[in-house]
Amino acid sequence: MSLNQWTKVAAVEDVPEGEMIGVSAGQVKICLARIKGKYYAMNDICSHFATRLSGGELYPDQLEVECPLHDSRFSLVDGSPHEVPAEECVDVYAVKVEGEEILVGPREPRADSD
């Protein structure tokens, strides 16, 4: 599901350094991560079997999230899967900080889009 506008999803203090949380932007479930002070947002629903990725493992050095169900890893940068069984990308979103609030916005181009 796409996002068409910037939406407040969390406060800066809600996302500790090196961790991720599950948030919502309207109907869109989002996995929001903070790595070295930078925020990353990807769709929280695994492309393989609809599990929430925010319940998995964050790998800050690789900028990847590992699905808790079958261990596929997804790039926080472009949403591409780096491990099977997932073969499809998940959507990634732009993130900006205004004051103490984190906003998520329109989708970044996916790795598998033209």
Smallest distance, Å, CB 59 to ligand FES? 15
E strand map for the chain:
7-11, 20-25, 28-35, 38-43, 57-59, 64-66, 73-75, 92-98, 101-107
Smallest distance, Å, CB 83 to ligand FES? 8
- From the list 67, 89, 102, 104, which residue makes contact with ligand FES (rule: CB under 6 A)? 67
Task: Examine residue 29 and tell whether it contacts ligand FES (CB under 6 A).
Answer: no
Task: Examine residue 11 and tell whether it contacts ligand FES (CB under 6 A).
Answer: no
**Beta carbons of 66 and 54 less than 8 angstroms apart:** no
Task: Examine residue 5 and tell whether it contacts ligand FES (CB under 6 A).
Answer: no
Q: What is the C-alpha separation between 77 and 35, in angstroms, rounded?
A: 12
Is the Cβ of residue 28 or residue 67 nearer to ligand FES in the bound state? Answer: 67
